[in-house]
Amino acid sequence: MTRPMRRSLLILFSDTGGGHRAAAEAIQEAMAQVAPQWDVVLVDFIRACALPPFDQVGALYRPLVDYAPWLWATGFHITSWKPAAALVNRLIRLITVPGFVRLFGRVQPDAVVSVHPFATDAPARALAASRPSTPFAVVVTDLLTVHPLWFTPRADLYLVPNGHVEGLAQRAGIAPKKTRVTGLPVALHFSGPLPPQAELKARYALPPDRPLVLLMGGGEGMGPLDAQAQAVAHSGLPLSLMVVAGRNERLRRKLAGRTWPIPVHVAGFVRDVPHRMAAADVVITKAGPATLCEALTAGRPLLVSRFIPGQEAGNVRWVVEEGAAFYVPRPENIRGALHRLFHPDGTPTPTYRRMAAHARRLTRPSAALEIAGLLAGLLPNAIAHDLATHP
């Protein structure tokens, strides 16, 4: 039997926030199942393709959104104006197209996919100039508030998280036949088989008979985690608490060294988030699209504590209006939300059960597999057998 020819899929992402990398890695993982004869290459296109000094701008993203979110929001809204977006696209092309051409020549991809709004029009033009027969797809990783830079009519396929974004794509000039609603790609282990919740709680030395609140501060442990943890601990409810402080070692030590009135587990940067979400009964987090969809996949009610002005504002509105979350911008809001979710004895209220059901309704756990199949199908004779066995 003839062995299938190896193919190469290039995924363009940037480490400007964790969501783009998470989406890229979820697609890479799904491709290994759906299309094992594809070699998937992930490239941070800003570092690899932008001209100096613009190749370093990715490092400015986190300080900007953490310490000057108003400035980021201003830039987001100004550049959402169509003429301003066109100027930004022109600048992106000037500083990245030569780098994209070199990258495509080195990798020789059979297909290219972008999971970042800055890598849409420029790589599409670079492909047209250097590898015109190579298909190009875009996976939109924002849930509701979507910047115009996401959309270019030069792409061959748009994979979007929901019908709202599909409508935005079509209003931006994307042909309906090019769009597919797939959901946001989430790593497969978030929806895979996991140990029972009580067993997972015991793994973290937490009591199985208490509702567990998971408080997440992202990879860098940013935000008012200390005040939020205090709000949970002093809610007056028989809860337990898990705090993931990320790389913020100073905060981790501070919280771990404190005497708490309830059982508390404090961790730093972790790689077992699916197990922690499955152990939890409620998740408190910021409104990053990847984290929201991961928590929804776990079927847990959400308390959304903050968001990046601009692209994440719509995420809060989406999960709240769909009944899966409360918005808790201040620590005192957390106490009130927890009392709506749990009775004084710690048993879940009808509100809790409704929110958990809405969370499960919103999730599409097979999104990454569906996206992988559609990307593999961009080539006419690619992996017919694998697609047939992974519908």
Please indicate, yes or no, whether residues 202 and 330 belong to a single structural domain of this protein.
yes
Please indicate, yes or no, whether residues 159 and 260 belong to a single structural domain of this protein.
no
Q: Which residue has the tokens 């895979």?
A: 192
Please indicate, yes or no, whether residues 35 and 163 belong to a single structural domain of this protein.
yes
Please indicate, yes or no, whether residues 87 and 197 belong to a single structural domain of this protein.
no
**Percentage above 70 pLDDT, the chain:** 94
Please indicate, yes or no, whether residues 94 and 209 belong to a single structural domain of this protein.
no
Tens of pLDDT, residue by residue over 151-168, are 999 999 999 999 999 999
Q: Above 90 in pLDDT, residue 127?
A: yes
| CA-closest candidate to residue 212, choices 322, 119, 298, 137 | 298
CA dist., res. 128 & res. 338, Å (int): 54
Alpha-helix residue ranges (DSSP H) falling in the chain: 18-34, 45-49, 58-67, 69-79, 82-107, 121-130, 163-171, 197-203, 225-233, 249-256, 273-279, 289-297, 313-321, 331-341, 350-362, 367-376, 384-389
> Rg (Cα) of the chain, in Å, rounded?
22
Cis bond before residue 350 (omega within 30° of 0): no
Determine, yes or no, domain membership for 93.
yes
Tokens of 315: 């995420």
- Provide the residue type at 135 as one letter: P
Instruction: Give the mean pLDDT of 334-363.
Output: 96
What pLDDT sits at residue 5? 74
Instruction: Give the mean pLDDT of 110-119.
Output: 96
Instruction: Give the mean pLDDT of 294-314.
Output: 90
CA distances for 336 relative to 98, 210, 232, 332, angstroms? 54, 18, 10, 7
What pLDDT sits at residue 231? 97
Please indicate, yes or no, whether residues 30 and 170 belong to a single structural domain of this protein.
yes
For residue 389, name the pLDDT band (cuts at 50, 70, 90): very low
Determine, yes or no, domain membership for 2.
no
Determine, yes or no, domain membership for 116.
yes
Please indicate, yes or no, whether residues 146 and 236 belong to a single structural domain of this protein.
no
Q: Which residue has the tokens 């504002």?
A: 313
Determine, yes or no, domain membership for 172.
yes
Please indicate, yes or no, whether residues 215 and 70 belong to a single structural domain of this protein.
no
Task: Report how many domains make up the chain.
Answer: 2
Determine, yes or no, domain membership for 340.
yes
CA dist., res. 142 & res. 16, Å (int): 13
Please indicate, yes or no, whether residues 200 and 327 belong to a single structural domain of this protein.
yes
For residue 212, what are the domain limits? 192-362
Determine, yes or no, domain membership for 1.
no
Domain CATH number, residue 204: 3.40.50.2000
Please indicate, yes or no, whether residues 41 and 183 belong to a single structural domain of this protein.
yes
Please indicate, yes or no, whether residues 369 and 357 belong to a single structural domain of this protein.
no
What pLDDT sits at residue 4? 59
For residue 65, name the pLDDT band (cuts at 50, 70, 90): confident
For residue 61, name the pLDDT band (cuts at 50, 70, 90): confident
Q: Are 301 and 324 in contact (CB under 8 A)?
A: yes
Determine, yes or no, domain membership for 276.
yes
Instruction: Give the mean pLDDT of 124-131.
Output: 95
How many angstroms from the chain centroid is the CA of residue 363?
13
For residue 68, name the pLDDT band (cuts at 50, 70, 90): confident
Determine, yes or no, domain membership for 212.
yes
What pLDDT sits at residue 220? 60
Q: DSSP per residue over 82-133, as a string?
A: HHHHHHHHHHHHHHHHHHHHHHHHHH--SEEEE-STTSSHHHHHHHHHH-TT
How many angstroms from the chain centroid is the CA of residue 110?
25
Please indicate, yes or no, whether residues 178 and 267 belong to a single structural domain of this protein.
no
Tens of pLDDT, residue by residue over 211-234, are 999 999 765 656 789 999 999 999
Instruction: Give the mean pLDDT of 371-381.
Output: 81
